[in-house]
Chain A
Amino acid sequence: MKRIKKLLCTLLCISMIFACAACGKDTKEGDKDSKGSEGTGKNQGIEYVYVPSYQKIEVEKDGYISGVRMDSKKCLYGVSVYSYEEGTEENTFHLVKVDFETGEATKIPVTLDAGGYIAAMDMDSEGNIWILESIYQYDKITYETLYEGYYIVRYDEKGTELNKFNLDDLMKEQDPYNSYIQNMAIDKDGYIHLKIGDSVICVLNPDGSKKVSLTASDWVDGLGVAKDGKVYTSMYGMNGMEIRPVDAENMKFGDAYQGIGNLHGAFFAGLNYDIIYNGESALMGYNFGDKTSTSIANWLDCGISSNNIEAVAELENGDYMLFSRSYEGDREAVNLIRLVKTDKSTLPDVTEVVIGSYYASDALKEQVLKFNKENPEYKITIKEYNQNAITLEDYESAIVEFNNDIISGNVLDMVDFSSIDNVNSLVSKGALEDLTTYLEKDPQINLDDYVSNVLTSYKVDGKLISLVTSFSINTMIGKPKFVGNEAGWTIKDMVALADSVPAGTEILPYATKEMILYSMIMYSIGDFYNTETGECYFNSDNFVNLLEFANRFPMESEYNEDDESEPSKIARDALLLLTTQIWEVEEYQLYNLMFGGDMTCIGYPTTSGNGNMITSGSELLGICSKSDNKDIAWEFMKTLLQEDYQRDQWMGFPVLESVLQEKYDKAMEVIYYTDENGEKVEEPHTTWGWNGVNFEIYAATKEEIDELDALIRSLDTFAVSVYDEQVFEIIQEEATYYFEGAKSAKDVADVIQNRVFMYIQENY
């Protein structure tokens, strides 16, 4: 008996051990948990990646591609060619079919009606081609609309027209202000599904007659056919994007499938997945059965820009086909990209450099793609932490994971600061490199070639942690007669100005208590505490006076579009100040005009120096101190300082002096047009308007450029480095009690002092 008991106990222990060893889900091809980077998979010990192979599609001059559709065997697209020669206008149209096996492109002659273009296209299970033709015909002399409507036309594979349905009667039933047909999908039984407006799905019988019309409770994002041949819609639900089948028989949308991740727009039927789609960072597959999204191939890893992908198809041999469209100059660059499933061990080794980012911008991804193409021995990848975050818990988990990866020092080589707020903590832990030494030692970088005061402005505790590669000026503007001619003033000065003007004069537009408080201490909050001594001064008279000043303003302010415009108020001194960010030379000129041709960028009130702040217009990258690839990381960072990147910046002033000068020269370029008398007349670069007040911005004068340039040279503070969100949160929370009349300013100041003191001491 005892032996039996012993045997039983041993068996139980062994089964427990086996149970522990078997924990964890099975890895499958393409699963994120399988070894290797996202978008790879293991199969019988072999790790696969997808390698792109390009097939260029030639597009005729003046040609435009529309209505792309692909399946596992072929790609179909329409080509419209518009030519305007010697006063004549000619439109031609044809379809092109590309066979994936042979690579051959075959023209299919199809004629559209006059004024017609493809609004949508699909293929049915029999290989027929369905075109939703949108027609707009107008009188070429009077421009009067002659006809506007839709047709659905069915062609066979050779382009012979089989059916044609007019949709005029259907369109008469729709909301006239929201009746644009945006999408069409044909299910396996030949029923035609149309997405009309924002939320209407109309199902037509194969003969073109209406079967049913369904209205979704929310905006319908996309419409497509899944692997089962049925039509589904994508829409935003309570927990992010979801897919719902269109149940025409029961006249409703079916139950939602969730966990779809970043699906925006089109999705397509897969072979191994119910649907496949462009998930912004990767090619994704989704199965209705287990309701999980799988990352098939990361776009950056494949060297592809996700913005250019228009359609996706899964091939029978496991490859994927992408339809990619971009612009090179003024012409479309169209490619069929085959992602070939390749054994990773057959590829040459590359050094991988990882950038950590909460949410990487398209500009950063484009720059990474370019660097990887030009440096095939390296591969920069971006690990996005917020990519699939939907709930608050997801975002908080992303923050924890991001911090842990930086602190552990074995995951990330670079950090994208653009959307993180604990930079000071990272610096104090020694997690980031001081880039000063890199700048000093690099023979290719000459600080004189850059606006160095801006380039090296992002310093924390004396360490240069990032390079500012494009910037704007965050400032407060006023007339010299009110604020003086020189930049820089204090909170006391601002209060004195408010006290000196007649009652009813607006200090800032639509100023409220909170807005005034925010504007006055946003960049001077550090004057009320000392991180070196751990002292705070929020219970001082200065702060109490500040609260009392902010309390003079209304609690709320409502914008009314019939109100007098800000420029008009400024002109008659009824409004004294504006806060703004200046991104372009034209904006500087605009504000100058607004303030009567004479303005002072006084900046935000501070007790020390300049209240004009630098704000970044592009990526802010840092190098992790534990990285093994610091040199490569630095080489990538340097690409952000190159001429072509600097010139492509559409937000903000460039830091490269030569490109900044080009901007100045372009702003000073006089543009002319020829009037009816044949005379050259100067034309404005742009026009701005507010409620009937218009400003025409002409070529900048040398004086304006010199003033702007002097302002740029005077900048010395990077906005984020002086702004402490935690302290401001406490102030905002407590000040509300005073503004609502519940407590006195002194009581509120005492509570703020008490709470902020704990914060300062904790970090002391």
Chain B
Amino acid sequence: MKKIKKGKKKKLTLKEHVSSALYLAPSFLGVMIFFFIPFLVVIFYSLIDNPISKNFVFLDNFKRVMDNAAFKMAAENTFTFSILAVPLAVLLSLLLAIMLESKIPLKSQLRTFFLSPMMVPAASIVLIWQVLFNYNGVVNQWLAPFGVEQIDWLKSEHAQIVVVLLFLWKNLGYNMILFMAALSSIPKDIIEVARLESASPFKIFMKIKIRYLSSTILFVTIMSLINSFKVFREVYLLTGKYPYNTIYMLQHYMNNTFASLDYQKLSVAAILMSLVMIVIIGILFIAENHFGKDVEG
């Protein structure tokens, strides 16, 4: 066997190329078949007039969808919800994690308490939320003594607040656990040194802990973004296919266009949404790279 000289890259032989390719082939084929090719099919559907005649119409479908009031409303609502809910989910779960990492009583019970919403099935969540936020529900009854008029929470401008609360209630526990694990993995000696150097807790947090948490923050943000789309399931069960316009999301649009066999609109909406996601996640990766580079080496 050849000794590899330090600093020099060994060139792979053809045989090694072939054997590498063979080992990679199953995974590669899987990704192609289940991700890449379907995406190409979606792009194809977005460029034709309908699945029957399959006439190429280039970007006409894109223009039609982007001019469509329902799509615009859905995109706006989805964006607003994500901008509101995701940072809140990250910040609040981080705060909770810090709180539960400190010396407080009933830590274990509190942890269980925050994690328990994850185990509740969607149908039960819907039932609880209906009881709470129905026009004649518990929340209105609590507010009535304070002179607040009955609010139709799910069919008014306040509907987004309800959905944000639902999202936070369901996902804080999971994010909190991720942050707790990340916090416990921060090297204690660096923090000791910082304390000895008379650094305040706030400075320790901002200068040391945040850097070590950067990859977890990125992960939690991406997961929260993904979970923010999954909240559609509960919203659909609560309000049906056509809810009040403030909680009419992109997923409603896509679900309904699928049901009405309008695969062109569905494909266009999916492509536009994925382009936006690529940009957002790209920004997040750049940010993480910047803040976390010195701790990741």
Contact = CB atoms under 8 A, between A and B. Distances in A.
A655 B70 CA distance: 43
Interface string A752-764: 0011111101111
Given A422-B260, A429-B52, A751-B155, 15 more contacts: A407-B261, A430-B50, A431-B52, A534-B69, A625-B52, A726-B241, A742-B136, A754-B155, A754-B244, A755-B244, A755-B245, A757-B245, A761-B70, A764-B68, A764-B69
Contact of B256 (A730, A733, A737, A762): A762
Contacts of A408: 51
Contact of A17 (B26, B51, B69, B135): B26
Interface in A722-764: 726, 730, 733-734, 737, 742-743, 747, 751, 754-759, 761-764
B248 interface: yes
B60 interface: no
Contacts of B51: 407-409, 429
B261 A425 contact: yes
Given A407-B51, A408-B51, A742-B136, A758 B152 contact: no
Contacts of B257: 762
A8 interface: no
Nearest to B22: A13
Interface residues of B, number: 30
- Ranked nearest first, the 8 interchain pairs of A and B with the lowest CB-CB distance are A761-B70, A762-B70, A761-B69, A425-B261, A430-B52, A425-B260, A429-B50, A407-B51
B125 to A, nearest CB: 20
B129 interface: no
A626 B261 CA distance: 16
6 contacts: A534-B69, A742-B135, A754-B245, A757-B245, A758-B245, A761-B69
B26 A762 contact: no
A13 B20 CA distance: 12
A13 B26 contact: yes
Interface string B82-124: 0000000000000000000000000000000000000000000
A737 B135 contact: yes
Interface of A is mostly: helix
B205 interface: no
Contacts of A425: 260-262
A407 B256 contact: no
Nearest to B155: A751
A403 B253 CA distance: 19
A327 to B, nearest CB: 44
Contacts of B70: 758, 761-762, 764
Interface string B34-77: 00000000000000001111000000000000001110010000
B292 interface: no
B242 interface: yes
A534 B51 CA distance: 24
Contact of A726 (B73, B242, B262): B242
B29 to A, nearest CB: 10
Contacts of B146: none
A403 B51 CA distance: 12
Interface in A392-411: 403, 407-409
B50 A755 contact: no
A641 to B, nearest CB: 27
Contact of A626 (B52, B68, B135, B248): B52
